[in-house]
Structures are given as C-alpha cells and as structure tokens.
Amino acid sequence: MTKRPVFTGAGVALVTPMHPDGQVNEAKLRELVEFQIAEGTDALIAVGTTGEASTLNMQEHMRVVEVVIEQANRRVPVIAGTGSNDTAHCMNSCRMAQKLGADGLLLVTPYYNKTSQRGLIAHYTQVATATDLPMILYNVPSRTGVNMLPETVATLYRTVDNVMGLKQANGDLASAAKVLSLCDIPLYSGNDNEITATLAIGGQGVISVLSNVVPRVVHDLCAAWFRGDPATCRQLQLHWLALANALFSDVNPIPVKAAMNLMGMAVGDCRLPLYTMEDKALEALREVLCRYQLIE
C-alpha cells in the first residue's frame, strides 16, 4: 500500500519567536514564514519540539498554527504539531488544527507516560478517529522516554488510513532502514546530520532545525538528491555538518534561537525551564557562525 507524502524535501521545524516579556511575537513569526518560503523551504512545521510546544498554552499553540497557515496562504504545506501524552487532549488539538486549515499533523509519541508498543498502536489508532488529515508519526525517544519500534510503525501504516509519514529522530539509521524494509511509509529525517543517509535508504526529506538558519542550503541538499545529483547532496551535508551539530550543542531549541539572534533575526529567548546558553558555549556557537560567514 502506497500513500502520498505530505511533502517531499526540506520541511522546517519553525521556532516560535518571543517578545522580551515572553509573549509570542506574531509579527516576527510572519516574517519567518516569508523568509522560509522565499528561501525554498518545502513545508512549514509549526509548534513542534523546536516551536516550544511544551510551554505554550492551548490558545497560544493554536494561534501560532493559525498565523503560520494564514501567512503561508497555501503556498507550501503547513503541518501542525498536535502530539500529546494525553490521547483525548491530542484528539482535540487535531480537530482544532484541522478546522484552522492545517495540511497535516505531526504527532510525537506520548511522553512521560512511557506507554508500551501496544499502547502506541492504540493511541494513534484512537487519535486517527478525530481527524482525516495526514498524520506524521514522530519518534524522538531522547525527549519522550519511549522508542517506537519498526514493527509498530509498520502496523500503524498498514492499519490506519491517515498515518502517512514518520519523522525518525532516534539516531538509529538501522532502525529507519528496517522500517522501510517492512513498509513504504514516507520517512523524514529528524536529525540534520543524517539527511543524506536518510535519503539514501529511501527517505522523502527532513524536518529540519538547521533550516531555521540556512533554509536554502537544506532545500538545495534535498533537491540535489531528488534530481539525481548525490555528489552535491553529500557535499552539502558534509560542508554544513559542523553547523548542524552546533545547533544541538545544548537542548533544542536553545542553540538555534541563539544562532538566529546572533544573525540579527531577533526571535527572542526560550521560555523557562529552557534557559540561555552559558557564555563559553555561546562563544563556540558564534565561532561556528563566523566560520560559515553567517555573521561577522
């Protein structure tokens, strides 16, 4: 069974910009959407991990989704992060995002609860009854405490009609390959240092933190692969690897917001409990940005 991908190429895991008082900066968010579209980004992912979903209340969460949808104006797909560790809450979020006009949903595995594989199947099967939007499963065990096994992904892909993708962010390419050996689910890298490797085993692209900083690079990397130019794809991956790694030198999205601020993009700080980088780490990030001539 083949299902059409929600998008192919470079999707950006958008940061949520904040004012100095910690409130969401909607004007800046609209600027970021325009910047991403102008630079060739293939999809916008709103309010995922990088968008600080865990510290936005429901009203703020849905307003960010709404602003991104409004500003994108159907020029590229908008995928709303609506995952939760509460199945009922997750279902309600999915309904609201669909009503706002989202093109798809990104659904992180339930965090903290640490459910079983059977529980994951039950959770996503139940969530699917609340929406007919395409659902992208999101596996990031370092944040959630639970790893979704390849067999679980394959079961959901085969049995739930609107499960149409997997963001794999567990750092295990062998696991990603096993997923694709079991089913043909559209696979997206969740790690910027693994984009080329994911494409090489049959992936459809990336949901990228790096794209917040250099969206044209990530778009071009994916585009090179799909036009049959693996050498350029590989060269871009290796050239930008140090920056991709630097953006994970602290808990995401602390470094990427710091980088964007250093570049003059004024996206503000993260909400507590995420905190600013230590001076030594910030200076190391500054040096990487200078090396790539992104700042002086």
Catalytic residues, by residue number, are 138, 167
Helix (H, G, I), strand (E, B) or coil at 43: strand
Terminal Cα distance for the chain, rounded: 51
Contacts of 73 (CB under 8 A, 6+ apart): none
Question: Do 196 and 234 touch, CB atoms closer than 8 A?
Answer: yes
Element (H, E) at 12: strand 9-13
* DSSP conformation letters of 241-256: HHHHHHTTSSSTTHHH
Which pairs with CB-CB distance under 8 Å and at least 24 residues apart come from 146-152? 146/109, 146/110, 146/111, 146/113, 146/114, 146/115, 146/120, 148/109, 148/117, 148/120, 149/117, 149/175, 150/175, 150/178, 150/179, 150/181, 150/182, 151/117, 151/182, 152/117, 152/120, 152/121
